């Protein structure tokens, strides 16, 4: 798989604060790369430099093997966290307005159909639901048929059904051969959509691989949980656990053995929760913070 974006030793300072510190990233064509990190980790600053919104202090950003030029803006699409839309314009009129900014925009009818906007094409943007608005912003980001698409927390605030619908659209975009760089605070979203994730903290890349590979490397084993009312049984078995929201939770490399022990002291299978570590657990292990902290 070829490389579409190569970032080398990217650095950005704000006064004495080093927001991004020698960051290296490689984006492979046709995949989805998740750039994740706790608040204040340098994620937003990094994204803005990759998009060309903010100039780095040092480092190199290569697009398709060459330094970015004027055509870079024509080759990328950006869905920002917050985008103000002109009121009293319909969905169709909004897309027509943005289409004028590009040399070769996609046919609007095709774009509305692929982003599931046809039914609302004559509706004022002010009256769109959260999910409809995000699909319109996605259509705007796709209007120039970009090779590289930046999605900055695109499903924040959406209900579960709207999020799933958006995920399906991103899957279709990936299937069309486009490359996606995604930031998100939803661990299930990153696991589902991203072929690779890079975790940054204090402006540095602290881990980068496929979600499964990172979990296998840093968090082998299984989490078991039982209700806190059974903590005395765990004490008898000398099991070290953490209290989390009314549950006793611990990690083990021999889940079946401990499940058998729990059953032997009176618990049933229904009393025991079995969970594989997730990206939230990974963040806590690597950074000492949860993704949303």
How does residue 115 score in pLDDT terms, banded at 50, 70 and 90? very high
pLDDT classification of 176: cutoffs 50, 70, 90: very high
Question: Quick check: 60 pLDDT over 90?
Answer: yes
* 234 plus 209 within the same structural domain: no
| Tokens matching residue 208 | 């980068």
The stretch 191-218 carries a mean pLDDT of: 94
Residues 148 and 176 in one domain: yes
Whether 262 maps to a domain, the answer reads yes
Check whether 61 has a pLDDT greater than 50: yes
Domain total of the chain: 2
pLDDT score, position 283: 85
Q: What is the pLDDT of residues 224-235, one digit of tens each?
A: 999 999 999 999
SS3 131: helix
Answer yes or no: do 56 and 155 share one domain. Answer: yes
Give yes or no: residues 122 and 135 share one domain: yes
Q: Are 71 and 99 part of one and the same domain? A: yes
| CA-wise closest residue to 99 among 131, 142, 51 | 142
| Cα–Cα distance measured from residue 96 to residue 90, given in angstroms and rounded to the nearest whole number | 10
The answer to whether residues 41 and 207 touch, using CB atoms and an 8 Å cutoff, is no
Structure-block tokens of residue 30: 């046709």
Predicted confidence band at 293 (pLDDT cuts at 50, 70, 90)? very low
**Tens digits of per-residue pLDDT, 83-109?**
888 888 999 999 999 999 888 899 999
Assess if residue 286 is contained within a domain: no
Question: Could you give the percent of the chain with pLDDT greater than 90?
Answer: 78
Q: Name residues whose C-beta falls within 8 Å of residue 80's C-beta, 6 or more positions apart in sequence.
A: 137, 152
Average of pLDDT values for 50-56?
94
Q: What is the DSSP string of 48-114?
A: HHHHTSS--SEEEEEETTEE--TTHHHHEEEE-S-----TT-BHHHHHHHHHTTSSSPPPHHHHHHH
Tell me the CATH number at 11. 3.40.50.300
Pairing state of beta strands 17-28 and 3-14?
A: antiparallel
Instruction: With CA atoms as reference, report the closest residue to 233 among 241, 223, 245, 222.
Output: 241
Residues 177 and 239 in one domain: no
Give yes or no for a contact between 125 and 156, defined as CB atoms under 8 angstroms apart. Answer: no
In a domain, 283, yes or no: no
Residue 24 and residue 144 in one domain: yes
Q: Mean pLDDT across the chain, nearest whole number?
A: 92
Give the span between the Cα atoms of 52 and 247, in whole angstroms: 46
Q: What is the mean pLDDT of residues 186-199?
A: 93
For residue 76 the two structure tokens come to: 């990328």
- What is the residue whose two structure tokens read 């039982």? 226
| Single pTM value for the model | 0.88
- Comparing CA positions, the residue from 126, 139, 151, 31 lying closest to residue 95 is 139
pLDDT at 94: 95
- State whether 203 and 235 are in the same domain: no
Q: How far apart are CA 287 and CA 185, in angstroms?
A: 15
106 and 164 in one domain? yes
Pair (121, 159) in one structural domain:
yes
CA atoms within 13 A on the CB side of 154: 32
In a domain, 290, yes or no: no
Question: Region 247-262: what's the mean pLDDT?
Answer: 93
Q: What domain range includes position 267?
A: 221-276
């Amino acid at each position: 798989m070829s490389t579409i974006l190569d970032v080398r030793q990217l650095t950005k300072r704000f006064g004495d604060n080093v927001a991004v510190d020698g960051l290296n990233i490689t984006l492979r064509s046709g995949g989805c790369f998740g750039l994740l990190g706790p608040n204040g980790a340098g994620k937003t600053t990094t994204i803005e430099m990759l998009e060309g919104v903010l100039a780095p202090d040092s480092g190199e950003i290569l697009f398709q093997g060459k330094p970015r030029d004027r055509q870079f803006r024509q080759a990328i699409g950006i869905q920002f966290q917050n985008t103000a839309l002109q009121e009293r314009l319909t969905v169709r009129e909004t897309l027509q307005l943005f289409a004028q900014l590009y040399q070769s925009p996609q046919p609007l009818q095709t774009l509305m159909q692929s982003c599931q906007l046809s039914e609302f094409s004559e509706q004022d943007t002010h009256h769109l639901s959260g999910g409809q608005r995000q699909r319109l912003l996605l259509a705007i980001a796709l209007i120039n048929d970009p090779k590289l698409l930046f999605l900055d927390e695109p499903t924040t605030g959406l209900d579960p059904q709207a999020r799933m619908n958006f995920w399906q659209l991103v899957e279709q975009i990936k299937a069309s051969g486009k490359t996606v760089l995604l930031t998100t605070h939803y661990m299930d979203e990153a696991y589902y959509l991203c072929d690779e994730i890079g975790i940054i903290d204090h402006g540095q890349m602290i881990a980068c691989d496929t979600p499964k590979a990172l979990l296998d490397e840093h968090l082998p084993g299984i989490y078991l949980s039982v209700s806190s009312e059974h903590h005395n049984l765990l004490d008898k078995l000398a099991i070290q656990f953490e209290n989390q929201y009314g549950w006793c939770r611990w990690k083990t490399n021999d889940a079946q053995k401990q499940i058998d022990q729990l059953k032997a002291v009176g618990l049933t299978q229904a009393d025991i929760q079995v969970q594989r570590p997730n990206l939230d657990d990974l963040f806590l292990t690597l950074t000492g913070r949860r993704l949303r902290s």
